Structure 1
Amino acid sequence: MRHLLAACLILVTALPVWAGARHTVLMDVLKVRELSSILHEEGIKFGATLNRDWLDGQGGPAWSQQVTRIYDPERISEGIRAGLEPALEGELLEDAIAFFASDLGLRIISLENAARRAMSDPAIEEQARAQYAARQGTNDTRLVQINRMITEGDLVNRNVTSALNSNYQFLRALVDGDVYTMSDEEILEDVLSERDDIAADTSSWLGAFLTLAYSPLSNEELTLYADFATTPAGKALNAGLFAGFDPLYEDISYALGRAMALNLAAEEL
């Protein structure tokens, strides 16, 4: 009986290790570390914008170092993983790995990351937005599949909600840092006042990004990807990514707000 119990304990304790290994495979095929590096670079640029708009460009090395720490790539990777692990297990996890480990799946991830980097250039972003806008209202078969993915994944609403929550946390941090005096209700009202503008901008950006990213794919390949996105595994992956990104960027936004409050206070001394 003791030998049997020991064997069962080994099996039970091995399960999380196996599950963790498979989630590591998922992270690898999704190239999450590469994406985290891209998001880190975006964060550095956003930090420069905050420095210009809020600190009159006087943040200096101290502000740059704070922003670099806040957008730590390892922190971003772990935040994404924290959302994916509970969302994808068993068959859902294996189906997601199988798709993104395929030639098409690997190519799609590479295209998405390349497009994300490319759209950090304002000129390319503007051109991509214009191309997407020009296709709206047409029977373009590629646009149909892209809009299908946006709709099925509820990508606009999910991204808008994430942006609003992040903005709320940034303002809350400024209030906590004595930059502003506002109640929670006033912060929420201020944030929600921008909802329509954020929704319009998000819809345009998403369409532009997906149009640019998938432009090298054939119609058949794009349809196959759209089909996968509507499967249980595709939906679970989408939910898991947002489950990771949402709290991650709320924490990042709050940290940025507190860092900004400290810098503004230092300016007043």
Structure 2
Amino acid sequence: MKHAFSFSGFFRLLLIVGFTLQLSTTAEATSRERIEAFLETTGFDVALDGIAFASTSAPQMLGMVPDDFGTDWARAAKQVFDVQIMHRLAVEILEQTLTETALEHAITFYSSELGQRLVEVENASHKIEDDTYKQEQGRAIVADLVKNGAPRVEILNRMNRAIDSSDSALRALQEIQIRFLLAAHSAGVIELDLDGDDLRQAIKQNESATRTALRMSALAGAAYTYQVFPDEDIQTYAEELEYPLMQEVYELLNAVQYEIMANRFEALAQKMKNLETGQDI
């Protein structure tokens, strides 16, 4: 039986991850060993592992539940969002796109005393599978900050603006939604009367509300993740994220993250087809 997709399910995906998409390329390649060191030092390897958590929203995006795919659903999602596969994809892209200058700048900052403390809490946050818990805790922190008129709210907002200064996260996640839906339709998992352009238009109708929700979610997430840091450290971090070379690094890392998400969701659509027809995977 085919199903119709769910915009509410996609909205959940939007709140799981929020970065930017703006892929830049360069003829200068960086060695695999340097990329591996870069991933570990910056904590981006752990962030990649967290992409797997987004797979839990896949059935809801299609108007379904995991049980619709039988007992093999968890195994299928784990196979598709395999950590080693995602890591290999990231390294392959970064080898060809990340300049040595940008890499060195990021490593220098994140290997500093402050940088390592930031990576520690960011890694811990990425490893929490229950995003609802983080959001609830973060919103409570933000509510107290607002109540007390604390300047920390604007500092956190400044940091988030540096990470996504042009709403690229929203557009990237919309494109992931479209690619997943079209792949699921092609695989025969769902019925879809809209083509790619019509899907974009339908999703765009809720863009304003979704953008606001994304920003509130990002604020709550940052409030939770960096709660042990004083305002001065967060201010320093925001200033560092605004630095041109760090902007280049984050634009690329976020692009890599989103390309991997889109790639894996398309692969998951094919797995869903096999599960729905009762075939072994």
Q: TM-score, normalised by structure 1?
A: 0.79
Q: Does 1:22 align with 2:30?
A: no
Residue of structure 2 in register with 1:129 after alignment: 139
Match of 2:243 in 1: 231
2:103 is aligned, of 77, 93, 111, to 93
Distance 2:124 2:95 in 1: 25
Over 3 Å counting, the alpha-carbon distance change for 1:266 and 1:19 in structure 2 is closer
Partner SS state of residue 57, structure 1: helix
Q: Is residue 2:119 matched to residue 1:142?
A: no
Gaps of 5+ in 2: 1-27
SS state at 1:217 partner:
coil
Q: C-alpha distance in 1, partners of 2:140/2:112?
A: 32
- Pick 1 or 2: higher relative contact order, CA cutoff 8 A, min separation 6: 2
Amino acid at match of 2:125: A
Structure 1 residue 205: Cα displacement: 1.4
CA contact (8 A) 1:87 1:237 kept: no
How many residues are aligned here? 250
Provide the alpha-carbon RMSD of the alignment: 3.0
Kindly tell me: are residues 174 and 45 of structure 1, through their superposed partners in 2, closer, same or farther at Cα, counting changes over 3 Å? closer
Deviation (angstroms), 1:71: 0.8
**Does the aligned pair in 1 maintain the 2:178–2:196 contact within 8 Å?**
no
| 1:77 matches 2:87 | yes
SS at match of 2:229: coil
1:156 CA drift (Å) = 7.3
Could you tell me how far 1:257 is from its partner in structure 2?
Answer: 2.6
Instruction: Say yes or no: does 1:210 pair with 2:222.
Output: yes
Structure 1 residues 207 and 242 mapped into 2: Cα distance closer, same or farther (>3 Å)? same
Change in 2 beyond 3 A, CA 1:138/1:239? farther
Paired residue type of 2:224:
L
1:100-115 matched pairs, under 5 angstroms: 100-115=110-125
Tell me by how many angstroms 1:72 deviates. 0.8
2:94 and 2:72 map into 1 onto residues whose CA distance is 34
Task: Report how far residue 43 of structure 1 moved.
Answer: 3.9
Structure with greater Cα Rg = 1
Contact 2:121–2:225 under 8 Å retained in 1 = yes
The Cα of 1:223 is off from its aligned counterpart by 1.7
Amino acid in structure 2 at the alignment position of 1:259: K
**Residue 206 of structure 1, CA deviation:** 0.7
SS at match of 2:67: coil
Hey, which of these two has a bigger chunk of helix by percent?
A: 1
- Does residue 257 in structure 1 map to residue 254 in structure 2? no
Q: Distance in 2 between matches of 1:153 and 1:175?
A: 33
Structure 1 residue 266 displacement after superposition: 4.8
C-alpha separation between the residues in 2 aligned to 1:74 and 1:46? Answer: 21
Aligned amino acid, residue 268 of structure 2:
L
Distance 1:211 1:246 in 2: 23
Contact 2:174 2:203 (8 Å CA) reproduced: yes
- TM-score of the superposed pair, with normalisation by structure 2: 0.76
State the alpha-carbon separation in 2 of the partners of residues 182 and 93 from structure 1. 42
